[in-house]
Structure 1
Amino acid sequence: MSAPSERAVIRLELVVVFAMTLGLAGLSSLLTLIDALLAPTPISDQTIAINVPLARAGVIDFLKQLIAVIRLLAWGALGAYLLYRAGMKLAAVGLDGTRKGRDTALGVGLAALIGIPGLAFYLAAHAAGMNLAVAPSTLDDTWWRPIALVLLAVGNAWAEEVLVVGYLITRLRHLGMSETAALLVSAVVRGSYHLYQGFGGFVGNVVMGLVFGRVWQRTNRLWPLVIAHTLLDVVAFVGYALLRDRVSWLP
């Protein structure tokens, strides 16, 4: 546990970092859900899109999507940098390149563990009226759409896993919080910025956060989480773009 004065600085740092990044995203997500609940249409009959066009002109849209990717990469880099400034080597949170093969294998396994039950849970939650229909992408069918979606998947994975797992849990440890309590906080934060999807999105991402966070606590390897999250988002973003209007079982 850090000294009292240092703990005060860490608390302020956490507030500033998450106010700039995923914390405000969680608040905005909550307001989006409340707005959906207040609408006369049941939330299961409403649709929310994740990756949407950002400009009318195709080239400008592509460039703005790339800016969004850079912002996500910068958020994750901020968390890694602050840990480094606090005296930690990136290897201490599992961001070194010494175990590429094992990290990749664990990442693929985690993606399968979360992805298949996660899709089933999403479909069940939507059918039960707990979730909006989530459209992972409404980008136009352009040559750059797969590139943008893959890069956005990488950006999301990097930002979320570094900030919400590696950075947040580490800083909560420095505040003297137990491993279980820090894991719960991390998982709830992850769920909070997915509230825009509905109650099912919140619960599903809390469960994902519990699994990912515990794996990191046990292995101290962050790359497998980034790899798994990237694979999940690539399948969701690109797969939806390819299957949209071609299958009947997607809401």
Structure 2
Amino acid sequence: MSEAPLAEVAVEERPRFRPGWELLLVLGVSLGQSAVYSALSLADKLTRGKPLNQQTTTITSSVAAERPWLDLSYQVANLVFPLIPALLALYLLHLTADRRRIGFDLRRPWFDFGWGWALTAGIGIPGLALYFTARAIGINTNVAPANLAQNWWTVPVLIGVALMNGVLEEVVMIGFWYTRTKQLNWPLWTIVLGSALVRGSYHLYQGFGGFIGNVVMGAVFGLVYLKTKRIGPLVVAHVILDLFSFVGYALIAPYVSWL
């Protein structure tokens, strides 16, 4: 009696790796989408018949100021859901063994904090000067970083916003963008410039000053990443800059007239 033929085990073919589609999809549900809405917001401001420097842009506002519990719920949701694209980007990088290569970990904390503070000083002061100049010559709105009702959770929420922005933008626009565009064999200058332009684009809602300042910031951050091979310092610098902007503004604005 002859042996029965062994059953063939179907081997599932591994899906083709498509870095370009991954990049487009991650941007489409995160900062690329923000860039489109930001451009529309600028178009709205430019067609109001009122100079940009006579308009105010508020970044973080209360949604239900008269009901603090509901307002807090909205603020927490606005912190959590924007982080999902960053987690998606990290997951996709993990699937291709690229996650550890972007330097988003705690392996070199003092290095990250040292570079982070240096970047904060190098970008923060010129950035503030650019903002006031752009507002003075009429190409930027008056930016109010925080307009939350005064509650016990106001400062913690603003700290959370700073953390969320730092993680989302640097994971997606530096770690994920640089990894996938390199895998697409883009020339290095287009990787740096492309990332910087997208970063500037999703700040267009502030005006042209916000766009220019963030393009410069994006280029500097990109060059630092190419040198250090870590987004850790960029996250640190971004969070510190936003802490000064959000928390500092909330504490100082009621007492000064020039903000």
The answer for the alignment partner of 1:93 in structure 2 is 102
* Secondary structure of residue in 1 paired with 2:254: coil
> Are 2:33 and 1:29 aligned?
no
From 109, 114, 118, the equivalent of 1:109 is 118
CA contact (8 A) 2:23 2:176 kept: no
Q: Distance in 2 between the 1:147 and 1:111 partners?
A: 21
Q: Count the aligned residue pairs.
A: 244
From 68, 71, 90, the equivalent of 1:58 is 68
CA contact (8 A) 1:188 1:206 kept: yes
* Secondary structure of residue in 2 paired with 1:245: helix
Q: Distance in 2 between the 1:67 and 1:248 partners?
A: 32
Q: Distance in 2 between the 1:157 and 1:166 partners?
A: 12
Q: Distance in 2 between the 1:193 and 1:135 partners?
A: 17
CA contact (8 A) 2:45 2:52 kept: yes
From 55, 71, 81, the equivalent of 1:46 is 55
The answer for the alignment partner of 2:3 in structure 1 is none
The answer for the alignment partner of 2:154 in structure 1 is 145
More displaced stretch, 25-34 vs 96-105:
96-105
Q: Quote the sequence identity (%).
A: 42
Q: Distance in 1 between the 2:55 and 2:226 partners?
A: 37
CA contact (8 A) 1:52 1:139 kept: yes
Letter in 1 for 2:27: F
Q: Distance in 2 between the 1:95 and 1:248 partners?
A: 39
Q: How does 1:70-81 map to 2 (within 5 A)?
A: 70-81=80-91
Q: Distance in 2 between the 1:15 and 1:91 partners?
A: 22
> Are 2:252 and 1:243 aligned?
yes
Note the alpha carbon deviations across 1:190-212, whole angstroms, 9 max, x for none: 00100000000000000000000
More displaced stretch, 134-143 vs 70-79:
70-79
Per-residue deviation, 1:6: 5.1
Q: Distance in 1 between the 2:21 and 2:110 partners?
A: 38
Q: Distance in 2 between the 1:75 and 1:244 partners?
A: 32
The answer for the alignment partner of 2:5 in structure 1 is none
* Secondary structure of residue in 2 paired with 1:134: strand
Q: Distance in 2 between the 1:16 and 1:73 partners?
A: 15
* Secondary structure of residue in 2 paired with 1:97: coil
Q: Distance in 2 between the 1:211 and 1:157 partners?
A: 15
Q: How does 1:171-210 map to 2 (within 5 A)?
A: 171-210=180-219
> Are 2:112 and 1:124 aligned?
no
* 1:202–1:154 distance in 2 versus 1, CA, 3 Å: same
Letter in 2 for 1:21: S
- Higher Cα Rg: structure 1 or 2? 2
CA contact (8 A) 1:72 1:158 kept: no
Once superposed, what is the RMSD of the aligned Cα atoms? 1.3
